[in-house]
Amino acid sequence: MSSFKFADEQLAGVYRAIRERRDVRTGFLPEPLPEELLCRLLNAAHQAPSVGLMQPWRFIVIRSAEVRRVVHGVFSDASRAAHETYSDERAELYSSLKLEGILSAPQNICIVCDPDNAKGHRLGRHTMPETATYSVVCAIQNFWLAARAEGVGVGWVSIFDPEALKSLLGIPASFVAVAYLCVGYVESFAAYPELERAGWEKRMPLEDALYSEHFGRPYLPEEKNS
Ligand SMILES: Cc1cc2nc3c(=O)[nH]c(=O)nc-3n(C[C@H](O)[C@H](O)[C@H](O)COP(=O)(O)O)c2cc1C
């Protein structure tokens, strides 16, 4: 047993945040988040690991209803195009899904990556330059988990033409638009992913994603391996 382990209650809190984090698209409340709370969440994001200590994330906090309306238009165009790729029942199901909370969440946050920034001196990026973007995703997950622990809902919207989103928000061409988050207090947190509840997709058991020694070889606990 590690002497660095958190106290039981703290440990339970960490696992609870992980288990009960949800992607939220409905039930946002209009009350804005207090500034200190938003800063705590952004600080949690900013403490994420990053390749070469590059910290390539940049956060654009959007509160303006006007900006959110235009962003929502970019979402609607992309969602219409996505809908056209499905047919029959899947198309019907797609149109029944609520896939964003851009207008109802009082805070939106666009998180972008500066993939060519010199900070970090390219450590870890010589062979895998995409690790800059992976680092930004780590920051987003920190934000998401801290938000759940604070009782704040977060919904990730990716249904955009990224170039249209970048141009709308004045994001430099060399940056990557990684995520657009809808953030706010919520009526409730669902026990299950919305897409599972709607019948779009099911969660798979861990066993289906877990292998031993080589890709595809079923995982066996250590005692059964030897
Ligand atoms: C990279 C990424 C992009 C996503 N984009 C969308 C999106 O555009 N619209 C949406 O409704 N949910 C989006 N989601 C949320 C997923 O649908 C959700 O995480 C998944 O269904 C599991 O549900 P849970 O997060 O509540 O566990 C996205 C999640 C990730 C990680």
pLDDT at 223 over 80: no
What CATH number is given for 23-225 in this structure?
3.40.109.10
Q: Which atom of ligand 1 is nearest to the CA of 157?
A: 8
Ligand 1 near 177 CB (within 6 A): no
User: DSSP characters for 157-203?
Assistant: E--S-HHHHHHHHT--TTSEEEEEEEEEEBS---SS-HHHHTTS--P
Single-letter amino acid, residue 216: G
Buried b (16+ CB within 10 A) or exposed e, 174-194: ebbbbbbbbbbbbeeeeeeeb
Ligand 1 near 22 CB (within 6 A): yes
| 178 CA to centre of ligand 1 in angstroms | 13
Cα separation, 134 vs 113, whole angstroms: 9
Cα separation, 209 vs 22, whole angstroms: 21
| 156 CA to centre of ligand 1 in angstroms | 6
Cα separation, 71 vs 157, whole angstroms: 11
Is the separation of the CB atoms in 174 and 116 below 8 Å? yes
pLDDT one-digit tens code per residue, 58-115: 999 999 999 999 999 999 999 999 999 999 999 999 999 999 999 999 999 999 999 9
| 197 CA to centre of ligand 1 in angstroms | 13
Ligand 1 near 136 CB (within 6 A): no
Q: What is the pLDDT of residue 226?
A: 57
Residue positions counted in the chain: 226
Mean pLDDT of 27-54: 98
Q: Is 54 exposed, middle or buried (0-12, 13-18, 19+ CB in 10 A)?
A: buried
Mean pLDDT of 157-174: 98
pLDDT one-digit tens code per residue, 184-210: 999 999 999 999 999 999 999 999 999
Mean pLDDT of 105-126: 96
Q: What is the pLDDT of residue 224?
A: 62
Q: How far is CA 112 from CA 152, 153, 169, in A?
A: 21, 20, 11
pLDDT at 225 over 60: no
Mean pLDDT of 153-182: 98
Is the separation of the CB atoms in 181 and 108 below 8 Å? yes
Cα separation, 43 vs 129, whole angstroms: 25
Ligand 1 near 134 CB (within 6 A): no
Q: What is the pLDDT of residue 221?
A: 86
Full strand arrangement of the beta sheet holding 57-62: 57-62, 107-113, 176-185, 152-157
| 100 CA to centre of ligand 1 in angstroms | 10
